[in-house]
Chains A and B, each alone.
Chain A
Amino acid sequence: LRVVVADDVMLTREGIVRLLREAGFEVVGEAENGTELLRQVRMHQPDAAIVDIRMPPTHTDEGLAAAQAIRADHPATGVLILSSYVEPSYALRLLEEHPERVGYLLKERVFDVAILVDALRRLADRETVIDPTIVSHLLGRRRRFDPLEELTEREREVLSLVAEGLSNGAIADRLYVAQRTVEAHVKQIFMKLGLDADPSSNRRVLAVLAHLRIRA
């Protein structure tokens, strides 16, 4: 897989590049800001771009804007956003326009090669990657009337994996159950939560996250 890495902090960028190369990825470009990133992506048409959310010149959400531009103009390129914020707003903003081939991970995770490789593979498979911390944050939220109380322990487990962006097959592998069992769980969960999104579509991650977010 061919990857472009964008981060204005050299130390982090080089660390990621080194890890990727060791894991057998081909790093075709590096960038320090959004403009440079878009140029590299245009030039190399990589399979994925790893993008720091906070880059010059504004040091706010440059990376997010660049990610949206990449997804709009280069459908074959997945985008993995690295962020220091446990901020569902950002993750949702990323998913809202282009619900597939996007990922939002907390920065410290990328030095775990297994997580990094898994994330990039999933993007290549048109899946979505949402950091487990964000998902547990949303699931763990204190609520007055908790719709999650209706769910069984196993269903909650499946829900959080769905929210993280895993496909039914990946969830089945993770939980050591048959894929059909997972499908049944997902159907049940969507029914209990009153979600009318198609439980098999790409949009289900967005639907689940948005549902968890809005419901107080």
Chain B
Amino acid sequence: MDGYNRIARRGVATVAVPALAGAYATAVVAATDVAVDPPTTYAAVSLTAHAADVAAGVALLVAGVAAWLEPRTGRLGALAVLAAAAWFLPDWEGWSGGPALARSVAAALAPLLLVVVLHLVTALPRGRIPSRPALAVVAAAYALAGVVGVGRATLGDPLLEGSCWRYCVGNPLLVHRAQGVAEALDKLGLWTALAVAVVLAATSWRRLGIASAAARRRLAPVLAPAVAVAAADAAYAIALLRTPLEDPRTKVFATIFVLRSLALFALGAGLAYTVVRARRVDAAIAHLGRALGEAPPPGRLAETLARATGDPTLDVAYWLPDEQRYVGPDGHPPTEFATGGGRAVTQVTRSGRPVAAVAHDAALVEWSPLDLELAPAVRLALENERLQAEALAQLHGLRESRARVVEARDDERRRLERDLHDGAQQRLLALSYDLRLAHAAADANGDLAAILAAAQEEAHGAIADLRELAHGIFPAILAEAGLARALTTLAESAPLAVELEEITAARHPDAVETAAYLTVAEAIADADARGGSVVTARVGARDGRLVVELADDGAPRRSDLVHLADRIGALGGSIELDARTLRAEIPCA
């Protein structure tokens, strides 16, 4: 229901606010008497001053109205409209044909302009004053300006003021004539204006200084003109302190007026830009809504959010409750989140359980889609992607453990080969040597010599068998000289013709070479079992993958070579089997 009310209220405001603002601006222009001599407004002095006066006020008014009608910048818009209204107060005061009460009220409220601008700047970007000290400063400025305005209006008589030029006839608000106090309040008013100008400049400058790059881009269009407004108004206050008799026709005052107008115009333009930007963010968020509705492709949510928020560095990590750690959308360990330096991390939880962490520009919190109407949709999308990231992380874990199993098996094979070579084979060699000596010693005994000769033959046979066994377990040449050499040797000892067409000479990680070697070895054994007579083999590296292709002329394949598929799968590769061909791809980059 709240939502409907809000929309209804906005509907009324959409018509009422621009209408009232337009009426006010028209009234000002109508009331500004440019043909009075001596002039009672700056507008009466020159066409330039008149144009600057109207342009500044109208720019701020239009920007303010536009901002007012945006939900995100509504409060700022109201403040800007207020500031525009205050800007025109001196014109009302100098309205030569106007009612005395209106002119006195305008004079009393005029000092508010600078305070409203300070309020606006302090409340950027959402219209709320962020801290108690800031609130205290703004409140104090309002109070001082109020005291000065009301005090002067109730205690001062313009007729007695030497410096009076806008409205010097009478004061219907006058309660008690105390000219000395009124003049002191005048001075206080100028010093207050000077102080507020300094605070305004300092606040704007500091906010620009501490903002992140993205926030600075967003805020500078308002903050930079605010500094200019502060400077121009400070100059105005100083000029008045030095020359209490303000004459709009003098060069100094005329120049200061134009500068103040320009600064305020720039503030209005900056605010308008901010509104347009906010609209773009709205559009982006609407786009985000659609994108979420269409379910962004897996792992692309961060990208979608980055586009919606205009923060290209936005990053998302997901929480895995079982493993108590974060992972990226792809299930791999996330990129380190940098904090500080204008970066912030927002935790997203769902019923108290962490779902994700979003790293983003610190200034983004203000515009974060997590805070807006789309929050539920974004949360749901995050939760969905978290489930996917979790599944991927488990998949990676599984794959790594498979790879470790294969690696352990390879290491075991290698160790076995070495053990056979350095252990059993050496012992058989020693045995063969002893038999040789025995044979030599038994020369005289013909029978014994024959037996020993046979024993030697047996020993040699055992050595040859052992050698073949060791080579089958792990070909030492593979680790030492690489795939091409190892496959050539494999082809030479194969039970059928093996044609090696293109074998890459490049070296790859042990696990990859072993897998490729075993793929060819298995395929040869398989082709032989199916009665083939020729196997052709091709091994090449393409796009970071080692591609092994085999074809033979045997009977159609029946076995699916499961353990080969397992081994290749463990390395993140794939294998395709056909009746007489085999193609394996193993990542090798």
A15-B430, A108-B429 given; A137·B479 CB < 8 A: no
B477 near A12 with CB under 8 A, answer no
Closest to B493 in A: A137
B533-556 interface bits toward A, Cβ cutoff 8 Å, 1 = contact, 0 = none: 110000000000000000000000
Partner of A142, one of B421, B426, B476, B496: B496
Task: Tell me the bound Cα distance from A138 to B426 in angstroms.
Answer: 26
> Is A107 close to B, CB under 8 A?
yes
B498 near A142 with CB under 8 A, answer yes
B477 near A216 with CB under 8 A, answer no
B497 near A87 with CB under 8 A, answer no
B455-473 interface bits toward A, Cβ cutoff 8 Å, 1 = contact, 0 = none: 0000110010001001100
A54 near B492 with CB under 8 A, answer no
A85 near B467 with CB under 8 A, answer yes
Task: Tell me the bound Cα distance from A24 to B426 in angstroms.
Answer: 26
A59 near B418 with CB under 8 A, answer yes
Residues of chain B within 8 A of A216, CB atoms compared? 491, 497-500
Closest to A90 in B: B477
Chain A residues within 8 Å of chain B by Cβ, number: 28
Residues of chain A within 8 A of B479, CB atoms compared? 60
B463 near A143 with CB under 8 A, answer no
A85-B467, A137-B492, A213-B492 given; A143·B497 CB < 8 A: yes
Residues of chain B within 8 A of A54, CB atoms compared? 421
A108-B460, A111-B436 given; A12·B499 CB < 8 A: no
Partner of B477, one of A59, A85, A108: A85
B418-458 interface bits toward A, Cβ cutoff 8 Å, 1 = contact, 0 = none: 10011001101110110010000000000000000000000
A149-176 interface bits toward B, Cβ cutoff 8 Å, 1 = contact, 0 = none: 0000000000000000000000000000
A60 near B476 with CB under 8 A, answer yes
B436 near A89 with CB under 8 A, answer no
A88 near B499 with CB under 8 A, answer no
Residues of chain B within 8 A of A112, CB atoms compared? 436
> Is A84 close to B, CB under 8 A?
yes
A85 near B488 with CB under 8 A, answer no
B494 near A142 with CB under 8 A, answer yes
A144-B497, A213-B488 given; A9·B436 CB < 8 A: no
Closest to A214 in B: B488
Task: Tell me the bound Cα distance from A143 to B493 in angstroms.
Answer: 11
Task: Tell me the bound Cα distance from A30 to B463 in angstroms.
Answer: 25
Task: Tell me the bound Cα distance from A163 to B240 in angstroms.
Answer: 113
Residues of chain A within 8 A of B491, CB atoms compared? 141, 216
B495 near A84 with CB under 8 A, answer no
A88 near B489 with CB under 8 A, answer yes
Residues of chain A within 8 A of B460, CB atoms compared? 108
Task: Tell me the bound Cα distance from A86 to B476 in angstroms.
Answer: 11
> Is A11 close to B, CB under 8 A?
yes
Residues of chain A within 8 A of B533, CB atoms compared? 144
A60-B480, A108-B432, A108-B460 given; A89·B498 CB < 8 A: no
A9 near B488 with CB under 8 A, answer no
Residues of chain A within 8 A of B477, CB atoms compared? 85, 87, 89-90
Task: Tell me the bound Cα distance from A113 to B436 in angstroms.
Answer: 9
A87 near B418 with CB under 8 A, answer no
Task: Tell me the bound Cα distance from A88 to B428 in angstroms.
Answer: 23
Task: Tell me the bound Cα distance from A213 to B491 in angstroms.
Answer: 10
Residues of chain A within 8 A of B493, CB atoms compared? 86, 137, 141
Q: Which of A57-95 contact B (CB under 8 A)?
A: 59-61, 84-90
B492 near A88 with CB under 8 A, answer yes
A61 near B480 with CB under 8 A, answer yes
Residues of chain A within 8 A of B252, CB atoms compared? none
B498 near A84 with CB under 8 A, answer no
Residues of chain B within 8 A of A12, CB atoms compared? 426, 429-430, 433
Residues of chain A within 8 A of B425, CB atoms compared? 84
> Is B481 close to A, CB under 8 A?
yes
Residues of chain B within 8 A of A9, CB atoms compared? 422, 426
Closest to B428 in A: A108
Residues of chain B within 8 A of A60, CB atoms compared? 476, 479-480
Task: Tell me the bound Cα distance from A60 to B480 in angstroms.
Answer: 7
Closest to B468 in A: A86
A142 near B432 with CB under 8 A, answer no
> What distance in Å separates the Cβ of A96 from its nearest Cβ neighbour in chain B?
13
Task: Tell me the bound Cα distance from A60 to B485 in angstroms.
Answer: 15
Residues of chain B within 8 A of A86, CB atoms compared? 467, 471, 493
Partner of A89, one of B430, B463, B488, B496: B488
Closest to B479 in A: A60
Partner of B497, one of A15, A89, A108, A142: A142
A142-B497, A144-B497, A216-B498 given; A85·B426 CB < 8 A: no
> What distance in Å separates the Cβ of B458 from its nearest Cβ neighbour in chain A?
12
> What distance in Å separates the Cβ of A193 from its nearest Cβ neighbour in chain B?
17
> What distance in Å separates the Cβ of B536 from its nearest Cβ neighbour in chain A?
9
Task: Tell me the bound Cα distance from A62 to B570 in angstroms.
Answer: 33
> What distance in Å separates the Cβ of A28 from its nearest Cβ neighbour in chain B?
22
B146-166 interface bits toward A, Cβ cutoff 8 Å, 1 = contact, 0 = none: 000000000000000000000
Residues of chain B within 8 A of A107, CB atoms compared? 429, 463
Task: Tell me the bound Cα distance from A54 to B417 in angstroms.
Answer: 13
Task: Tell me the bound Cα distance from A51 to B74 in angstroms.
Answer: 91
Closest to B426 in A: A9
Supplied contacts A85-B477, A141-B493, 16 more A-B pairs, CB within 8 Å:
A11-B429, A12-B426, A12-B433, A15-B433, A60-B480, A87-B476, A89-B489, A108-B460, A108-B463, A113-B436, A141-B491, A142-B496, A144-B534, A213-B488, A216-B491, A216-B498
Q: Which 9 residue pairs spanning A and B have beta carbons closest together?
A: A15-B433, A144-B497, A142-B497, A216-B499, A89-B485, A111-B436, A141-B492, A111-B433, A108-B463
30 contacts between A and B (CB under 8 A): A9-B426, A11-B426, A15-B433, A60-B480, A84-B421, A84-B425, A84-B470, A85-B467, A85-B476, A86-B471, A87-B476, A87-B477, A88-B489, A88-B492, A107-B429, A107-B463, A108-B429, A108-B463, A111-B429, A111-B432, A112-B436, A113-B436, A138-B492, A142-B494, A142-B496, A142-B497, A213-B488, A216-B497, A216-B498, A216-B499
Which residues of A are in contact with B by a Cβ distance under 8 Å?
9, 11-12, 15, 54, 59-61, 84-90, 107-108, 111-113, 137-138, 141-144, 213, 216
